[in-house]
Every structure is written in structure tokens, then in C-alpha cells.
Structure 1
Amino acid sequence: MDDDVGCSQRTSGLSNVGLSPSISWHVGFRYLEELCLNRVTVDGELVEQLLANCPKLERLVLEEARTLTRFRVSGRSLKLKYLRILWCDDLEYVEIYDTDLVSFTFVGMRMPVCLDKLPQLSEVSIRGSSLEQLHVMLPPRLSSLPCVQILKLEFFRLLSENLQIRQLPKLTSVKQLILRVPVFKEASLLPLTLVIEACPCVRSFVLELMYPDDMLCRQRKLKRVDGPPHRYLKEVEFHNYYGRPCDLELVIYFVDNAIALEKLVVSPCEEEMVTVGERRMLKKLKEPRERAWQQLKGKLPSKIDLVIN
């Protein structure tokens, strides 16, 4: 194959094929800026050759890359800005260092990635199994990266009633924290405060409760958590607010501890999955909006602007 094949191509994608470092398809993509490898049989040597021989490559997606176990991304000569590694379950170790990477996304059940000396890295997104495993899902040395301002965390497993989160490193550079967690019945949200407290300089916090399922709204005595003061947190968004005691407890936590809080945005839950006999069905809801107004309107300090969408 001619080494200059595709030299004017800027975007490319390959799916369901096998690639080997012995072939030269990758050598001539001098103008390639974006590449997605989906369900491709590939090894680390080829990935590293590809990066070295695509001098303008800025975006790389590796999705379900079979047989990919190890590779390294390094060197200031690389133009790579955005790297996404999705469901590459055979990965054992990935080293990313001394580049100008801006955004990194990882989706998988365990984190085999080491990030180091990435002065431009500003956004890290991780989707993993459960909050209980967050301490091993966060990349080693993440706390030492000075420019990571946006941290997005999403988890597949439902929050459990007795959720335990281990001690997390302090991520002092994070300014925006986004959490997406699936919810069921009435599991407490207060363990999430340990994640928030790991980001002491956070200014914006977004929580989305995903896939509401057989939610319960039984009245009980509310719990309070006396956490450290959040001196910089100014805005909180709460999506799929159901109005359960555990939802209200988290709002109270912010009112009590976010001393600089200026705005609370609440988007009530509008539908949930319910079990009717042996059937599963999607149910439209009005009650969460009514509860949000009843629980929050006129109940917050006057300095906090309440928005119920």
C-alpha cells in the first residue's frame, strides 16, 4: 500500500477490522486530525506508531479495541488534544505523560491509566462501575495535575443504602464537579458529600440522578451532615429531583455548608420506571415538581436564588 494514501484526509474511522504494525496504512495520514478505532484488533505498538506518524492528529477514540493491552502517549511534539478510551477491557496499563492533552475520557470497569506531567489537561471524564470503587477509578497522580478544572464522574451500579466511599485524594484544581448516578427507591445521597469534599475549591456542582427506578418517598426524620465549609461553591444543579427525604437532605447539606452558595437549580423528575405486577413500564410524574415547590420555595436563605425548572 502506498505510504501516502489518504494524505489529504482529515477525519477517519475504522470498525471491526484487524490491524498490524507491519502494514503501512497509517504512515501517510499527514493531515489526519481525527480518528476513531471501533472494535479494531490492534496493539500498543501500532497505536504509538500511529501517533508518531500523524503529526496533526488532535482527536483519538479507542473503543472496544480488542487485544490492546499496553501503550504510551508521550512527547510534546504530539498534537493530540482529546483522547477517549472506551470499553477496552484488555488494557493492563496506559501511560500518558508530557503532552499537551486537553481532555481525557475513560469508560471501563477498572482504571489502568497513569496521567502525569500534563500541564494543559483541563477536563477528565470517567465512567466506572460503582462509587464504592471510586478510589481505584481515579487515575494515580490526578491530584498532582494543576489544570484539571472539570471532573465528570458517572457510575453504572445503583446507589446502595449502605454505600461506603473510601478516603479520596484532594483535587484542589477542580472547579466544576459533575456526578451522574443511577438511583433506586430511597438510597441515601449523603455519601456523595465525600466526593464533593474531595474538591475543596469547587465552584459549580452538578448532580444528575439517572434512570429513576421504583422510587420511594416515605417520610422519616432528616439526617444532617456537618461537613467542612465549601468556601467557593456558588452554584448547585440537581437534576431529576424526586422530593424524597434523601434528596432534601442533600439540599440541606449545601445550605448548611456551602457558605458562598448563590444559586440552586432544581429540575424535578418527570418520569420513572415502575414495576406493575410482572411488567416494567415508564410512568409520567407530576408529584416531584409539587414536592420541590413545597419543600424548597421560601425555605432557603434569601441570598440563594432558587430556580425550579
Structure 2
Amino acid sequence: MGKFASGFGLGKCAKREQLPKDHISELPLEILLHILSFLTFKEAARTSVLSKRWKNLWTYSARLDFSDFSALKRIEESQGAECENVRKMERCKFVKWVNKVLQLHKALALDEFRVHFDLQGSSREAIDKWLQFAFSRKVQRLQLDLSGHTNFGRQSPKSYAFTYGPLGISRKSSESNPCALIDFKSLRALRLTGVNISGEVLEFILHNCQCLENLVVRYSYDLINVEVSGPLALKHLEICFCFNIRCLTIRDTNLVSLKISYPDTLVLKNVPMLVDVSVDGFSDEGIRGVISRLSCCLLKLEVLTLPVSSGEARELEEMLHELPPQLPKLKQLTLDVLTEEGESLLGLTDLIRGSPNLEKLVIKMGLDDEIVRKRRKLRKAINYSVQHLRVLELSGFLGYTNEVELVKYFLDNAVALEKIIIDTRWDPGEFCCPELETEAEEEEEEEKCARRRAKRRLNRLTPSHVELVIL
């Protein structure tokens, strides 16, 4: 009692409860900014409440990521006439937010500048200024995604058009002396989604961005003819869902990877470094036409993604027999498969014959294909020793006969097989939108059933030395 009366005990407790010294805030500015570089832009902004030292540090952030998914969801969930009112209100709030941040921002250089929101050409003035800001800060990675919450069909003549304006030049001057007008030495990656850009502007950027290595264009209404050629720094190119495109010519470049949606538009010539090709759209000429258009790089391909129906595999088998081995360096093959009338998937095994060094095979099957569920007796395919295949992955697996017999084929013939991954999950991937959330919930029960079927039918088939993973 005496201790408390004298105040000694309380003083001692107060001393013991004293907060430790904030040593982190005393670190040099360069180190604090380096710490912020590991945070998202919103997380970095929240550090302003930590102390006076942190209050304005976020304004020096080298990564600016402007996205508001909660607002996008409110837009998508609104109905009828209300939808347009909500959209206008949210767009106005978003534009004001970005403008305010850019007014406060003090960094002289940007590693990344990203905008993801539902905006169109009506916001041209604001978007032009944002891009000019990014270029003035020597941005290295630029992403402009104006497709909103969903990418489905967001190609429109009303979309924002990326022209010469944000580059600070006029079309007339760009034609007369483009190289002297703007310096793009800092830009290394450009990703445009739901943005209209012409082939002319795209080619101008390619030839003036001396360090541009990664280019992605999706859902561009204005992209019709594109030529990628000459001594470019470009290593990775993706042009997908540009529905008006007529011709994509790629020649005399050191491109390493390519992803396209419309193989019938593709012209490839002299691409000695191309080792990774992904085609996610069907050709009017069939699988034979796709392979023909890739003929100049087949001998060097290491990674290939193709859409294919089980019936088309027989057509390709004949061609592979004519020119074996067709894919001698291929290490990974991904097939987006559509089946017809409960047809066996064993025809796909013919593709493996032209890929003697294949190490990983991924087969993605149709999501809601009722024909997969048709029950029938197991078929047998001609045995062919698969020497190097180590990993087999089946996505969209429902556990029905044609899928099980495909797994059994590789268990019998892939002598080096180490792992089988069975993925029963429904995954909308990058094209997720709120309308699909309900559908995803409905798929959950079917996924559980598929996992039970997979365990029941594959556990007894899989030997102990092969790891079976069911997701």
C-alpha cells in the first residue's frame, strides 16, 4: 500500500509501459521509399497515419495503381436506368480521385502506372493528362484497362482511343519526323485493354520505344492491320480479342513469346527466337491451318498452347506422320479441348508423337459440355511409349469415361510420369465478372461430385510412384 501511496509503484509501471522508440521512421529516406515499393499504392497511402515522418512519403511512391473494384461492382449490380446514373457518378468520383493524387505526387520517376476502371472516350481529356503525366515521369510499366469489371465483349467504337495526343505530338508531325519528337527510352511494358488503338499508332510506339519488351493489346476496335518488324527490343507480344483485325504480320524480329486469338490473321516470317506460342481461338482452316501458319517456328518451339477438338487430332496425326518429328524441342503443350457427342479424347494422344521431348502436358476441357457425361465402355488407343512426360494436368475434369481413359493411357505409356494433377474447379480466370458469381456457386456442388468420382476412379488406377493431386 505504501508503494502506491508514494507514487513509486505507479511511476515504475508507467516507465515499464512506455512505448519503444520508433527506429524505423529514423531510417534514411531512400530506405523508407524502398520499403514502400513492396506495398500496393493504397497500402502505401495508408502509412501516412503512422507518424509525421510517414505523412507524405506515399507521394514519392514509384508505383501508382488506380483501381476501385468496389465501385466497379456497384456499377455492375445496378439495373436499368439506374445503371447509367451510377456509372456516371462513379466515373466522376474516380476521375477526381486520380486527378487529386497526381496533383500531390512528387516522385520524378515511375516504375508502374496502372488504371483499371469503367471509362470510355467521354473521359478522354482526363485520361490524356494521366498518360502525359506517366510519360513525363519516365514510366517503365504502363497498364490502361478501361474494360470495367468484366472483359466480355468490351470492344466498342466509343472506347477511349489512344492516339498521338498523349505522346505530346500531332499526327502530321509524327509522320514527318517521329524519332525526334518523343523519347520512350524508359517504357518497358505496355498493356492496353478496352482501349482503341490503330495499327499506325501501335507501330509508331514499337519503333520509338527503344526498351519496350512486353506489349499486350486486348479489345481494340480500331486495330485492323498490324506489322511488327525490324530490330525491336520487343520480346513478348499478345494481341487478343481485337475482333476487327485482318492481318497481323510479324517478321524479322527477335520475339520470344506470342499470344493471339485469331490465327487466320497471322503471318510469320523469320522469327528465330520465337519459342512460346499461344493460340486461344479456332481457325477456319482447322488445326492443320494453325500448324501451317506456325511452320517457320515449329522446330524451335518449347511451349505451345492450341485449341483443338478431339476429332481434329486425327487430321493432325496424318500430317505428323508426313513430317516427323514436328515439334522436337517442345517441353510443354497445353490443349484447350472441345469434344463432340461423347467422343473419346484418346485422339489427342496422337499429338504427343510429334513431341518426343515433351515434359508437361496440360489439357483444359470444356466447362459445361453435357456430352462429356455420356457413359460408355473404355476404349483403347495404340500404345506409344512417351519417354519424357513427367507431369500430366487435366483441368475441368468431371470424372467421366473419356477423361478416365485418357488418364489410363498415360499411366500405361508415360514411363517417366511423376505427377498427375486433376483440377475439378471452375475457374473463369481473367474474364471473371459479377454475373458469373452465381453460376460459380452453382458449380460448387458439381465440383464436389467430380472430386469424389476422380478419387473413386483414379486412386485405384494410379501406381504408388505417381503422385495424384485432386483439386
Which bracket does the TM-score occupy, shorter chain normalised? 0.7 to 0.9
Aligned to 2:187: 32
What secondary structure does 1:284 align onto? helix
Unaligned runs of 5+ in 1: 273-279
Query: Contact conserved, 1:128 with 1:137, CA < 8 A, in 2?
Result: no
The equivalent position to 1:202 in structure 2, one of 340, 354, 358, is 358
1:126 maps to amino acid? V
Instruction: Return the alpha-carbon distance in structure 2 between the equivalents of residues 79 and 97 of structure 1.
Output: 13
What percent identity do the matched residue pairs reach?
Answer: 30
Query: Contact conserved, 2:269 with 2:296, CA < 8 A, in 1?
Result: no
Q: 1:289 to 1:75 in 2, by over 3 A?
A: same
Q: 1:296 to 1:145 in 2, by over 3 A?
A: closer
Instruction: Return the alpha-carbon distance in structure 1 between the equivalents of residues 254 and 292 of structure 2.
Output: 17
Matches within 5 A, 1:111-130: 111-129=264-282
Aligned to 1:256: 412
What secondary structure does 2:289 align onto? helix
Query: Contact conserved, 1:235 with 1:262, CA < 8 A, in 2?
Result: yes
Matches within 5 A, 1:38-117: 38-76=193-231, 78-108=232-262, 110-117=263-270
Aligned to 2:398: 242
Query: Contact conserved, 2:313 with 2:351, CA < 8 A, in 1?
Result: no
How far apart are 1:127 and its partner, in Å? 0.5
CA deviations on 1:156-211 (whole Å, 9 max, x unpaired) are xxx57x66652255222210112233568844322322333343321111122242
What secondary structure does 1:251 align onto? helix
Instruction: Return the alpha-carbon distance in structure 2 between the equivalents of residues 207 and 303 of structure 1.
Output: 22
The equivalent position to 2:459 in structure 1, one of 286, 297, 304, is 297
CA deviations on 1:40-70 (whole Å, 9 max, x unpaired) are 5544333222211111111112223334333
Query: Contact conserved, 2:229 with 2:251, CA < 8 A, in 1?
Result: yes
Instruction: Return the alpha-carbon distance in structure 2 between the equivalents of residues 88 and 288 of structure 1.
Output: 35
Instruction: Return the alpha-carbon distance in structure 2 between the equivalents of residues 18 and 297 of structure 1.
Output: 54
Deviates more, 1:225-234 or 1:66-75: 66-75
Matching of residue 284 in structure 1 with residue 460 in structure 2: no
The equivalent position to 1:144 in structure 2, one of 276, 293, 297, is 297
How far apart are 1:73 and its partner, in Å? 1.7
Q: 1:164 to 1:10 in 2, by over 3 A?
A: closer
Matching of residue 22 in structure 1 with residue 175 in structure 2: no
How far apart are 1:146 and its partner, in Å? 4.7
Instruction: Return the alpha-carbon distance in structure 2 between the equivalents of residues 27 and 194 of structure 1.
Output: 52
Aligned to 2:315: 166
Aligned to 1:134: 287
Q: 1:12 to 1:283 in 2, by over 3 A?
A: closer
Deviates more, 1:182-191 or 1:133-142: 182-191
What secondary structure does 2:201 align onto? helix
Query: Contact conserved, 1:111 with 1:138, CA < 8 A, in 2?
Result: no
Query: Contact conserved, 1:114 with 1:139, CA < 8 A, in 2?
Result: no
Report the structure, 1 or 2, having the larger helix content: 2
Larger radius of gyration: 2
What secondary structure does 1:293 align onto? helix
Greater RCO structure (CA 8 Å; 6+ sep):
1
The Cα RMSD (Å) is 3.5
Instruction: Return the alpha-carbon distance in structure 2 between the equivalents of residues 41 and 270 of structure 1.
Output: 34
Instruction: Return the alpha-carbon distance in structure 1 between the equivalents of residues 444 and 340 of structure 2.
Output: 15
Instruction: Return the alpha-carbon distance in structure 2 between the equivalents of residues 131 and 287 of structure 1.
Output: 36
The equivalent position to 1:11 in structure 2, one of 110, 130, 141, is 141
If the length of structure 1 is used for normalisation, what is the TM-score? Answer: 0.78
Deviates more, 1:172-181 or 1:136-145: 136-145
Q: 1:172 to 1:23 in 2, by over 3 A?
A: farther
2:466 maps to amino acid? I
Instruction: Return the alpha-carbon distance in structure 2 between the equivalents of residues 131 and 75 of structure 1.
Output: 29
Unaligned runs of 5+ in 2: 1-127, 145-158, 165-170, 321-325, 428-438
CA deviations on 1:191-237 (whole Å, 9 max, x unpaired) are 32233334332111112224234466454321011153222212211
Report the structure, 1 or 2, having the larger strand content: 1
2:214 maps to amino acid? R
How far apart are 1:124 and its partner, in Å? 1.3
What secondary structure does 1:137 align onto? helix
Instruction: Return the alpha-carbon distance in structure 2 between the equivalents of residues 98 and 271 of structure 1.
Output: 40
If the length of structure 2 is used for normalisation, what is the TM-score? Answer: 0.54
Paired residues, number: 293
Instruction: Return the alpha-carbon distance in structure 2 between the equivalents of residues 54 and 137 of structure 1.
Output: 31
Q: 1:254 to 1:47 in 2, by over 3 A?
A: same
How far apart are 1:301 and its partner, in Å? 4.2
